[in-house]
Structure 1
Amino acid sequence: MATEVVSVRVPLRGTGHNLRAIKVVLHREMLRFLNDRTRMASMLVQPVLWLFIMGTGLGTLVQGSIPGVDFRTFMYPGMISMTVIMTAMFSAGSIVWDREFGFLREMLVAPVGRGAIVIGKCLGGAVVATGQGVIILALAGLVGVPYDPVLMLTLLGEMFLAAFTITAFGTTFAARMKNMQSFFGMMQMAIMPMMFLSGAMFPLAGLPSWLHVLTTINPLTYAVDPMRQAVFGHLDVTPEVNAMLNPGVHWFGWQVPVALELGMVALVGAAFLGVAIAQFRRTD
């Protein structure tokens, strides 16, 4: 009796398959985040504490030197950035969980380009982090920031760009990490100094020369400053207070335009995305 051979057809890789893979990975990231209420709450606690407790405490010390401005208003763009960055970092770290539980291997053997998996991951992390940042946007009125539609849309776009870049940055490292402890140790060592040197918690005006250099070469500075420029552009403050709290980023006395800052963040994000894709193509 002849044995019947059943042919198995593996679908060819193509643009359609890759687009569906991006959609599936993005959708999975959103479902994973929405189903983890503890993670949602924990990601909000730290920025809210910094904004309403630390901001109020520091505000009592400097209120005489910044008349008409609540110091929490100054800190608000930085707290948006902190929320987005921390959420994006955790989204990138989920790759390490997927590797430990074997789900990553299942994705890598799928008949889709590995670049599609990375893009879906970065887009998913950016969408999740931006959604988390929307909650901080809802608190704007409590710290003296107006609910202006143009301002809200501007901050939303800038949050998404920052979140995408941080997720791509984290994905680059997560592609080679074997456990969560190593990943988050590396991320804390990299992200926390960058966060503190971005001007999220203190003005960039009047800094010592060494600290000014560090803030200038810090990529996160160019993600935080456009948000602060957008917020202060919708506030009625004196030129002196604006120069103190919102001086912008300067290169040898020249103020860097917001468009160039956003372009630099996008360029860094694209570079890390390319590195992450290359890392995944070498992943076993």
Structure 2
Amino acid sequence: MTRLVASPVQTGLTLLNPLLYFVVLGTGLSGMLGSASGTGDYLTYVYPGILLMAVQMPALNAGMSIVRDRETGLLRAVLVAPVRRATVLVGKCLGSTATATAQGGLLLSFAGVAGLPYDPLLLLALLGELALVAFTLTAFVTLAAVCITRIETFQSALGVAMLPLFFLSGAMFSVAGLPWWLAALTHLNPLTYAVDALRQTVAWGTPGGALPPGPDWGGWAPPLGVELMVMCALGLAALALAARRFSRAE
């Protein structure tokens, strides 16, 4: 958090990409797509995906730092500390979760642009969900970082994986009406439940807002609590696997 506060330029550059998507792409598609959100405002519909994008980059940086520290030898120096290896990994994951949540929380100041009221309860609910999403993303990226040793391979793997996962989450368009094979991929995508959880909260805080279709489990739409538990379980499982793999002597 100290490094985050001391690097406002880096924080601003990290938030520039989701802001461009939100302001430029969201405004440009708003008139064309019309009522995709059920409220007639595409900016409201795309806002949860923009929040997800805001915490995605800091989570990726967490894994990048692990791989970079391993290549430079800094990680080996840290591991001589009189603590368990898993403790170092969990601390790194939780620290990155905190910074990702803080950066994502900055975009909550644009809630009014998305047509949301500045309701403290609504903003706190979104911030708490962002923290859970950031933890889950960081845990998965950390798992990839302890399995991939070369930074070039790590960058290529995440570059190939993260963009399809983002677009298959329903962040930019509805998951309803997709071909069966593509719909199956969206249901296996953990980001789908992150976006839908944020979208359910946004719909709750939007006056007269209707909730667009989300994941469908055999005709049953999982409620917000179930989606939060799914993300929490996936994050804990990924972190446990990463800690187990990290604890092995190299």
Report the TM-score when normalising by structure 1. Answer: 0.83
Confirm whether residue 96 of structure 1 aligns to residue 96 of structure 2: no
The 1:98–1:64 alpha-carbon spacing in structure 2 relative to 1, beyond 3 Å, is: closer
Alignment pair present for 1:150 and 2:116: no
How far the C-alpha of 1:39 sits from its partner, in A, is 2.8
Q: Are 2:137 and 1:166 equivalent residues in the alignment?
A: yes
Work out whether 1:206 is the aligned partner of 2:177.
yes
> Offset at 1:150?
1.3
CA distance in 1, matches of 2:247, 2:185: 34
Change (3 A) 1:274 1:205: same
Cα pair distance change 1:139/1:181, threshold 3 Å = same
Q: 1:270 aligns with which of 230, 236, 247?
A: 236
SS for the counterpart of 1:161 is helix
**Greater C-alpha radius of gyration:** 1
Residues in 2 aligned to 1:163 and 1:140: alpha-carbon distance in whole angstroms: 19
- 2-structure distance, mates of 1:264, 1:64: 29
Distance 1:173 1:67 in 2: 37
Deviates more, 1:146-155 or 1:99-108: 99-108
Structure 2 Cα separation of the partners of residues 261 and 283 of structure 1:
36
Could you tell me whether the CA contact under 8 Å between 2:29 and 2:42 is conserved in 1? yes
Q: Partner letter of residue 261 of structure 1?
A: E
Which string of whole-angstrom CA distances, capped at 9 and with x for unpartnered residues, describes residues 228-274 of structure 1?
00001111236xxx25xx22321111111111111111111111111
- Aligned-pair Cα RMSD in Å: 1.8
Contact 2:35 2:42 in 1 (8 A): no
CA distance 1:236–1:144, shift in 2 (3 Å): same
Q: Please tell me whether the aligned partners of residues 36 and 42 of structure 2 are also in contact (alpha carbons under 8 angstroms).
A: no
Partner of 2:226: 260
Shift in Å, 1:112: 0.2
Q: Where in structure 2 are the equivalents of 1:100-115 lying within 5 Å? A: 100-115=71-86
Instruction: Give the alignment partner of residue 147 of structure 2, picking from 146, 170, 176.
Output: 176
Aligned to 2:12: 41
**Deviations 1:131-172, CA, capped at 9 Å, x for gaps:** 000111111112211111111111111111111111111111
Alignment counterpart, residue 131 of structure 1, candidates 66, 89, 102: 102
Deviation readout 1:168-213 (Å, 9 max, x if unpaired)? 1111121233332221111122221111100111122333323222
Distance 1:124 1:166 in 2: 13
Secondary structure in structure 1 of the residue aligned to 2:113: helix
Match of 2:54 in 1: 83
Unaligned runs of 5+ in 2: none
Q: In 2, are the aligned partners of 1:161 and 1:266 still within 8 Å (CA)?
A: yes
In the other structure, the counterpart of 1:227 is 198
Q: Unpaired runs of 5+ in structure 1? A: 1-29
